Structure 1
Amino acid sequence: MRAICPGSFDPATLGHLDIITRAAALFDDVVVAVGRNSAKNYLFDPDERVAILAEATGGLANVTVKPISGLLVDFCADEGVDVIVKGLRFASDFEFELQMSQMNHAMTGIETICLPTSSAVAHISSTMVREIARLGGDVGQFVPEGVHRRIRAKVAG
């Protein structure tokens, strides 16, 4: 069975990797789809985010990383994806993801599986990591080392 883990991943965090790694253990093939959310103020451009995630997931043989534009359900149909995997940190995440999963199912019949993020990383948010980094704080404990290097280079430059 083929699954997809969609998101903007700006930047990729240990929380994202928790969900991706667990999805890779559950499904034969996992596509990490790097998209764009017009409401977000990005630190990295889409190509950088794809490269970052490809590096961060390099040890997972059944994971590929691809950019996505347009509707997720259309991408899933084009890629032969059977199920969408979403991570949940808090109850508020569930409310949003439930509505999204119902819309996706109504449009195409695709199912969504929600995985609760491991408690050790549930507090991490990309938005907070970006803000801490932009203000000169150290975000090394929240992101993989390769991502940390890229963040330091980005905010220094």
Structure 2
Amino acid sequence: MRVALYPGTFDPITLGHADIIRRACLMVDRLVIGVAINRDKGPLFSLEERVTMIKTDCAKLTEQLDTEIVVHPFENLLIDCAQDVGAQTIVRGLRAVADFEYEYQMVGMNRMLNEDVETVFLMADAKYQPIASKLVKEIARLGGDVSKFVTPEVRRALLERLQHPS
């Protein structure tokens, strides 16, 4: 069975994330979405809320594609998480050159820790390249319309959390 791990904080999950998830599903039998518990980042949404949003967004994909999607919170090293879930591949999305520089360094470190796990980069679709969770939260905080960046369910959760009327 081909298993891949797509890690991130997903705070919140965006249409860009969903695009990478959909495309990664075409390459594997099981895609594990690793939701990072990163206390240093101070996420807007709790781990449970992020997991629920991902499961909701991915439910439709599971029906459409012949790939099992599993949501797996983790707080250990990424390479250890990959081993824990039986992933042979780590999937990373790239939006810009700046992403590549950071990711390239991470691949080198991960290869030194476990050379049996490959990292695959998927370029974000051009229409999703500017989307970043951090920017989506900022737009929502300032009362802007985020409907082009997230699903309606995630938009509602953002507005509720930031106490903006729909």
Q: TM-score, normalised by structure 2?
A: 0.90
Residue segments in structure 2 that go unaligned for 5+ positions in a row: 63-67
1:142 aligns to what SS in structure 2? coil
One-letter code aligned to 2:159? R
Aligned to 2:159: 152
Q: For 2:141 and 2:159, how far apart are their aligned partners in 1?
A: 9
Aligned to 1:46: 47
Identity of aligned residues (%): 41
- Within the candidate set 67, 78, 85, 2:73 is matched to 67
- Within the candidate set 64, 71, 82, 1:76 is matched to 82
Quick check: 2:38–2:75 contact (8 Å CA) kept in 1?
Answer: no
Aligned to 1:129: 136
Aligned to 1:108: 114
One-letter code aligned to 1:26? M
List per-residue Cα deviations over 1:68-103 (Å, max 9, x = no partner).
111111111111111000000000100100110111
Q: For 1:36 and 1:67, how far apart are their aligned partners in 2?
A: 7
- Could you list the structure 1 runs, at least 4 aligned residues long, displaced by more than 6 angstroms after superposition: none
**Comparing 14-23 and 29-38, the one that deviates more:** 29-38
RMSD: 1.2
Match status 1:57 vs 2:58: yes
Cα deviation, residue 60, structure 1: 2.5
One-letter code aligned to 1:27? V
Q: TM-score, normalised by structure 1?
A: 0.95
Q: For 1:95 and 1:9, how far apart are their aligned partners in 2?
A: 20
Q: For 1:123 and 1:94, how far apart are their aligned partners in 2?
A: 15
Cα deviation, residue 105, structure 1: 1.0
Aligned to 2:26: 25
One-letter code aligned to 1:6? P
1:120 aligns to what SS in structure 2? helix
Q: For 1:37 and 1:128, how far apart are their aligned partners in 2?
A: 18
